[in-house]
Chain A
Amino acid sequence: QKEVEQDPGPLSVPEGAIVSLNCTYSNSAFQYFMWYRQYSRKGPELLMYTYSSGNKEDGRFTAQVDKSSKYISLFIRDSQPSDSATYLCAMSEFYRDDKIIFGKGTRLHILP
C-alpha cells in the first residue's frame, strides 16, 4: 500500500457545483496536511494547510482532516472554470526532517 493514495481522475463537474477531493494515507505519524493546486505547465502552489484533525475554511475552500480514518478532503464550493487544475494532497510528520509525501494528484475540470 502506498503511503498516500489519491484518485487521479479526471473529475468533471459543472460550474457552480460543490467539488469533493480526497486522499487516504497509511502513516499515522502524519500531522501536517496540505493541498496544492497545479495548473498546467506550472509548479504547484499551496492552497490550504491544516495541522492534525479538524476543518479549516478559506473562502470557497474547506479542508477536512480525519486522523482516525486517515482520510483528508478538500471541498470547493461554487466551483469556477478557473478552478480547473490538478489538486495534490500532501502530508508530513513535520517535526522531523523533512520529506513531504505527495499524492499523485486529481485532475479537475469545471465545465462552463
Chain B
Amino acid sequence: GAGVSQSPSNKVTEKGKDVELRCDPISGHTALYWYRQRLGQGLEFLIYFQGNSAPDKSGLPSDRFSAERTGESVSTLTIQRTQQEDSAVYLCASSKRTSGSDEQYFGPGTRLTVT
C-alpha cells in the first residue's frame, strides 16, 4: 500500500538501552511528524520536519530523544538510555502541507515497552 509505514511494530527493550524507530512517509509528502501516545493519553507532539527546513524539535522531552530525516524520505527517532516512562506508542505522520489542508496521515505506530 501507499500509506505511512513504521517499523518495528513492537519493541521491548531493557532500561538503559538505546532504540531506533523508523518511519517511511507517503511519497511526495514534504512534512513528517513524530508523536508519542501514552496509554490513555492524547498524542504528544515530539518533532516536525518540513522539507529542507530546520526541524521543529520543541516537543522532544529530553536530550535522550533525537530524530533525523534525509530529505523528504525516511525518518528515524532515536531514544538513548531508555527509561520506563518512555514506554508508549510512537506514531509517525506525514502531510503534503498544501494550503487549505493540513491532513496528516498516520502510520500504525511502534509500541515501545521498556522493562
Chain A interface (Cβ within 8 Å of chain B)? Answer: 4, 6, 8, 32, 41-46, 49, 88, 90, 92, 94, 97-105
Contact = CB atoms under 8 A, between A and B. Distances in A.
Contact of B4 (A43, A49, A102, A105): A43
Given A46-B103, A46-B104, A88-B43, 15 more contacts: A41-B108, A41-B109, A42-B109, A43-B107, A45-B106, A46-B105, A98-B48, A98-B56, A99-B58, A100-B45, A100-B102, A102-B42, A102-B43, A103-B42, A104-B41
B42 A104 contact: yes
Contact of A98 (B41, B50, B103): B50
Given A97-B50, A102-B43, A43 B101 contact: no
Interface residues of B, number: 25
Interface string B87-113: 000010100000001111111110100
